[in-house]
């Protein structure tokens, strides 16, 4: 193996988590490889529906009956519609068997679900992190706001 094939870090997945981790690694000077299994997405060129008006869609933005029937899981997501369907992994492309209800909504492209998210950015506080412990539900978060605050300053 040639020296150019050596990496300090290999990040699997180019979604928000992997993409951000890769950015941090690169900024720290680590030779970083990002592996993404989804299709390539080129900025602008691969946003085929971004500038379409509602009346320009063949089905006015809705799914066809066949698309709904073939994708009972993905079509539970409000954004699985004519304008964004090309970024979703279809149900028959998921390599898992759903034994218990678990709606795994996945993107299939470089950028992962950052291509689909609704741009709502929650501003978490101590109050949110302490919720499970305070109110006695679910599993307590293993971190508190100050841990993230420290990470941001690093």
CB 37 within 8 Å of CB 106: no
H and E: helices and strands count for the chain: 5, 2
The nearer residue to ligand FAD, 57 or 117, going by C-beta atoms, is: 117
Give the count of residues interacting with ligand FAD (CB under 6 A): 26
Q: Which of 9, 13, 57, 131 binds ligand FAD (CB under 6 A)?
A: 13
By CB under 6 A, what part of segment 105-134 binds ligand FAD? 105-108, 112-114, 116-120, 122
Of 52, 68, 69, give the one whose Cα is nearest residue 60: 52
One residue of 14, 32, 71, 75 binding ligand FAD per CB under 6 A: 14
CA distances from 115 to 14, 15, 29, 145 (A): 11, 9, 27, 27
User: Closest distance between ligand FAD and the C-beta of residue 53, in Å?
Assistant: 21
x/- mask, ligand FAD, residues 47-86, rule CB under 6 A, reads ------------------------------x-x-------
Nearer to ligand FAD, 70 or 116 (CB): 116
- Which residue(s) pair with 88 in the sheet? 107
Is the torsion defined by CA of 36, 40, 42, 46 positive or negative? negative
Local structure of 33: helix, strand or coil: strand
Residues in contact with ligand FAD by CB under 6 A are 12-18, 35-38, 77, 79, 105-108, 112-114, 116-120, 122
């Amino acid at each position: 193996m040639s020296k150019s094939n050596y990496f300090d870090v290999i990040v699997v997945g180019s979604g928000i988590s992997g993409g951000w981790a890769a950015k941090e690694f690169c900024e720290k000077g680590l030779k970083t490889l990002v592996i993404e299994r989804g299709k390539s997405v080129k900025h602008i060129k691969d946003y085929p529906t971004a500038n379409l008006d509602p009346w320009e869609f063949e089905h006015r933005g809705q799914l066809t009956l066949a698309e709904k029937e073939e994708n009972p899981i993905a079509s539970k997501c409000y954004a699985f519609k004519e304008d964004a369907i090309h970024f979703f992994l279809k149900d028959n492309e998921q390599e898992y068997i759903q034994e218990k209800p678990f709606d795994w909504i996945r993107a299939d492209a470089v950028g992962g679900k950052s291509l689909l998210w609704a741009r709502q950015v929650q501003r978490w506080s101590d109050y949110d992190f302490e919720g499970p412990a305070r109110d006695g539900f679910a599993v307590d978060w293993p971190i508190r706001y100050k841990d993230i605050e420290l990470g941001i300053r690093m």
